[in-house]
Structure 1
Amino acid sequence: MGEKGTVQKSVTRQANPGKATILALGKAFPHQLVMQEYLVDGYFRDTNCDNPELKQKLTRLCKTTTVKTRYVVMCEEILKKFPELAVEGLPTVKQRLEICNEAVTQMAIEASHVCIRNWGRPLSDITHLVYVSSSEARLPGGDLYLASGLGLNSQTQRTMLYFMGCSGGVSGLRVAKDIAENNPGSRVLLATSETTIIGYKPPSADRPYDLVGVALFGDGAGAMIIGSDPIVGIERPLFELHIAAQKFLPETHKIIDGRLTEEGISFKLARELPQIIEDNVEGFCDMLIADAFGFIEDKDYNKLFWAVHPGGPAILNRIEKKLDLTPEKLNASRRALMDYGNASSNTIVYVLEYMMEEGLKTEGDGRELAEWGLILAFGPGITFEGIIARNLTA
């Protein structure tokens, strides 16, 4: 596994007393880097498939996803040890979980260490842990393995969120916000970790939708420290979290359908997903804005910043069109998708990092990151997760 640092910046805006803030970010990745231009040949070689129609379809999908690079746990050594992972119809859930459980813990530990270093306080000051993953299954859960691997105090209070898919990162942030605001002095470590090995399968004409996942998804981990009332001179709050909301859309539970089977997780993503998100995103955002401010002046969404989980380019395009956003508003989301693919719950961490980085680049040129904005993600349900946040880095 490998890790990457985080952009940090001095703070000028002050956090409001009692409000939860993101105090640090961190991320980590497996060592295997996949260039999108080489993915198709490698995938068909590794799965011993020579279906030209499926290969052409994946080639087209790889171009439309806008992904350029991704990190993945899957590698030649794993396929040599477990060749059955590339064979259709074999019961391999035991093998998959053996790989995934270890991999997600290792990545979560590495991302958490980066985050804690950026935070600047000792590990012993963490009081709560929120752990998010859709890539493992065991008892005890990954939260305990992560706490043990980090060396957290045995009285650290743990919360685990499993199988929430792409909305999991913002779901975890909502839970961490509630914990921080209801436990004065607490410091919450939120860790997310995902790997696609749990659903890795050979191409099949009976499952053409699998190729979307092959072209889109990546592996990695993310971490945040959340707490209220930052200690001046020691902690550097990045974003203040104000109003958080979750909403599911009735009768849409089959649109994103994932099932744990003897062959791992099988996913189906319906074609209607981008349209459903487009049809409902404005109402959800307006609800959040009304709860926080009562209104949005002239309903100009471009006065806000937008940290949106990049489920795919079609979703980002439709949100941009529906809300009449200028292109730069979703630039951080598009960069995260291009560099890491859709890494499920982790990706919102990467988006927030890129947003901070762009704020540094544009400082003083009239294009600074807005003070207020939304953190958004969409997952199975269909579930909308959103947080009204305040940028404290300008």
Structure 2
Amino acid sequence: MKEVFLNRIATAVPRHQVHGAFRAFAAAQALGRDSRAFARMAARADIASRHSVLEPSAPEGSGTVCGFYRQGGQFPGTRARMARWEAEAPDLAGAALRRLGLEQEGPGITHIIVATCTGFVAPGLDRQIIAGFDLPLNVERTTVGFMGCQAAINALKLAWHIVRSEPEARVLVVCLELCTLHLQDTTALEQLLCFLLFADGCAAALVTSDPAGLRLEGFASQVIPAAADQITWRIGDAGFDMTLSGMVPFTLAHALPDLAPALHGGRGLAQMRHWAVHPGGRSILDAVAHGLDLPDDALSTSRDVLSDHGNMSSATVMFVLARMLAAGRPGHGCALAFGPGLSAEAMRFELG
């Protein structure tokens, strides 16, 4: 059976840097004692910048942010948010795909997989990519929807299975998330965390049997019992409403030791040189490091991506993998991400 390789990854973010604007807006939403707790959370977030398709309002703390959210119950409905997604997503995808070289590669693509949990429209982003980059009209299309931050690994798993069964296949994987379209009008501390974490971004990758890039060795999935309510993601009247419980780091730290054999596939944690962990937040990375007893610098690439970009849901772990590809240091590795359920998805790989 042919080996499968993630040949290359290209990434793109919108031009608007919004971390300060979102942080100031959320601070104004926090009330009483929670405002002090929010300030502590903000100081510990380890995020320096985030990007959005929304342009930040000036001055910061003016009671409105990006002309899209206004304090006092004036947040847009789901229709307006989806209209903005439909308008903005193709340009961001196009930026990543041009960096990937799809203008030259397009006619040879046999499959396209699009992962997103922040925008849904039909005909969808796959059709726009086909039209914009001259992909064959008989290209096979799949959408991975609503699987949250772990969806990139699910998409790569599908690509892996396709190439293993069809060695001549050339699979395009696109992860695009506009998380900043789904901030909620709330004073609840756990919900305000979304204002501190989430951002927009796109990653595109090519998966084939050509021996270049990351060699994909295998995948593992695990649902964590009794934690189904700790990450939830539901469509509401005012966009998509996410629950991200403060218990998630605690749950992961205690569950990961038992999950470790499935994650490393019998190779052993000590043999894993690369850890591409989805940076869902500083506390998530700290919990993974503790739960797997990793060296202090094991998650440095994930922490750098968190600092530079925040949490872009499914696209984020691809940003981590892209940096590892660019660095080119040989060795075995594990990519790891978490999603609604609470569940974990892992991908074992080797950099040659």
SS, match of residue 310 in structure 1? coil
Q: Structure 2 CA distance, aligned partners of 1:213 and 1:332?
A: 22
Look up the match of 1:221. Answer: 202
**Once structures 1 and 2 are overlaid, which stretch shifts more, 79-88 or 105-114?**
79-88
Cα-Cα RMSD: 2.5
Q: Please report how far the alpha carbon of residue 180 of structure 1 lies from its aligned counterpart in structure 2 after TM superposition.
A: 1.5
Look up the match of 1:280. Answer: 255
The answer as to whether partners of 1:105 and 1:193 remain within 8 angstroms in 2 is no
Out of 233, 250, 261, the position equivalent to 1:258 is 233
Look up the match of 1:333. Answer: 302
Per-residue CA deviations over 1:240-276 (Å, capped at 9, x if unaligned) read 0011122222332211112111111111111211121
Letter of the structure 2 residue corresponding to residue 274 of structure 1: P
1:148 aligns with 2:131: yes
Look up the match of 2:61. Answer: none
1:316 aligns with 2:285: yes
Q: Structure 2 CA distance, aligned partners of 1:155 and 1:210?
A: 43
Q: Please report how far the alpha carbon of residue 33 of structure 1 lies from its aligned counterpart in structure 2 after TM superposition.
A: 1.1
**Cα 1:50/1:210, change in 2 over 3 Å:** closer
Look up the match of 1:111. Answer: 96
Q: Structure 2 CA distance, aligned partners of 1:284 and 1:176?
A: 24
**Once structures 1 and 2 are overlaid, which stretch shifts more, 278-287 or 60-69?**
278-287
The answer as to whether partners of 1:126 and 1:156 remain within 8 angstroms in 2 is yes
The answer as to whether partners of 1:161 and 1:172 remain within 8 angstroms in 2 is yes
1:209 aligns with 2:193: no
1:60 aligns with 2:40: yes
Matches within 5 A, 1:117-132: 122-132=105-115
Q: Structure 1 CA distance, aligned partners of 2:30 and 2:255?
A: 41
TM-score by length of 2: 0.89
SS, match of residue 98 in structure 1? helix
Letter of the structure 2 residue corresponding to residue 242 of structure 1: E
Q: Please report how far the alpha carbon of residue 355 of structure 1 lies from its aligned counterpart in structure 2 after TM superposition.
A: 2.2
Q: Please report how far the alpha carbon of residue 239 of structure 1 lies from its aligned counterpart in structure 2 after TM superposition.
A: 0.4
Letter of the structure 2 residue corresponding to residue 350 of structure 1: F
The answer as to whether partners of 1:301 and 1:324 remain within 8 angstroms in 2 is no
Listed as ranges, the gaps of 5+ residues in structure 2 are 58-63
Per-residue CA deviations over 1:335-370 (Å, capped at 9, x if unaligned) read 0000000111011121112223444xxxxxxxxx35
**Once structures 1 and 2 are overlaid, which stretch shifts more, 18-27 or 139-148?**
139-148
1:99 aligns with 2:84: yes
The answer as to whether partners of 2:108 and 2:135 remain within 8 angstroms in 1 is no
Q: Please report how far the alpha carbon of residue 55 of structure 1 lies from its aligned counterpart in structure 2 after TM superposition.
A: 4.8
Letter of the structure 2 residue corresponding to residue 184 of structure 1: P
**Cα 1:279/1:98, change in 2 over 3 Å:** same
Listed as ranges, the gaps of 5+ residues in structure 1 are 1-16, 231-236, 360-368
**Cα 1:244/1:81, change in 2 over 3 Å:** closer
Q: Structure 2 CA distance, aligned partners of 1:97 and 1:288?
A: 36
Q: Please report how far the alpha carbon of residue 198 of structure 1 lies from its aligned counterpart in structure 2 after TM superposition.
A: 3.2
The answer as to whether partners of 2:30 and 2:189 remain within 8 angstroms in 1 is no
Look up the match of 1:374. Answer: 334
Look up the match of 1:362. Answer: none
1:175 aligns with 2:158: yes
Look up the match of 1:244. Answer: 219
Q: Please report how far the alpha carbon of residue 57 of structure 1 lies from its aligned counterpart in structure 2 after TM superposition.
A: 4.0
Q: Please report how far the alpha carbon of residue 325 of structure 1 lies from its aligned counterpart in structure 2 after TM superposition.
A: 1.6
Per-residue CA deviations over 1:193-215 (Å, capped at 9, x if unaligned) read 1112331234x33x322211100
**Once structures 1 and 2 are overlaid, which stretch shifts more, 99-108 or 141-150?**
141-150
Letter of the structure 1 residue corresponding to residue 233 of structure 2: G
Q: Structure 1 CA distance, aligned partners of 2:294 and 2:231?
A: 26
Letter of the structure 1 residue corresponding to residue 341 of structure 2: G
Q: Structure 2 CA distance, aligned partners of 1:336 and 1:50?
A: 27
Out of 6, 10, 24, the position equivalent to 1:41 is 24
Q: Please report how far the alpha carbon of residue 106 of structure 1 lies from its aligned counterpart in structure 2 after TM superposition.
A: 2.1
Percent sequence identity is: 25
Look up the match of 2:314. Answer: 345
Q: Structure 2 CA distance, aligned partners of 1:80 and 1:71?
A: 13
SS, match of residue 387 in structure 1? strand
The answer as to whether partners of 1:258 and 1:267 remain within 8 angstroms in 2 is yes
Q: Please report how far the alpha carbon of residue 109 of structure 1 lies from its aligned counterpart in structure 2 after TM superposition.
A: 2.1
Q: Please report how far the alpha carbon of residue 145 of structure 1 lies from its aligned counterpart in structure 2 after TM superposition.
A: 2.7
Q: Structure 2 CA distance, aligned partners of 1:329 and 1:221?
A: 24
Q: Structure 2 CA distance, aligned partners of 1:156 and 1:25?
A: 20
SS, match of residue 329 in structure 1? coil
SS, match of residue 260 in structure 1? strand
The answer as to whether partners of 1:243 and 1:288 remain within 8 angstroms in 2 is no
Q: Structure 2 CA distance, aligned partners of 1:214 and 1:354?
A: 26
**Cα 1:201/1:23, change in 2 over 3 Å:** same
Letter of the structure 2 residue corresponding to residue 64 of structure 1: R
**Cα 1:85/1:165, change in 2 over 3 Å:** farther
Q: Please report how far the alpha carbon of residue 321 of structure 1 lies from its aligned counterpart in structure 2 after TM superposition.
A: 2.0
The answer as to whether partners of 2:273 and 2:332 remain within 8 angstroms in 1 is yes
TM-score by length of 1: 0.80
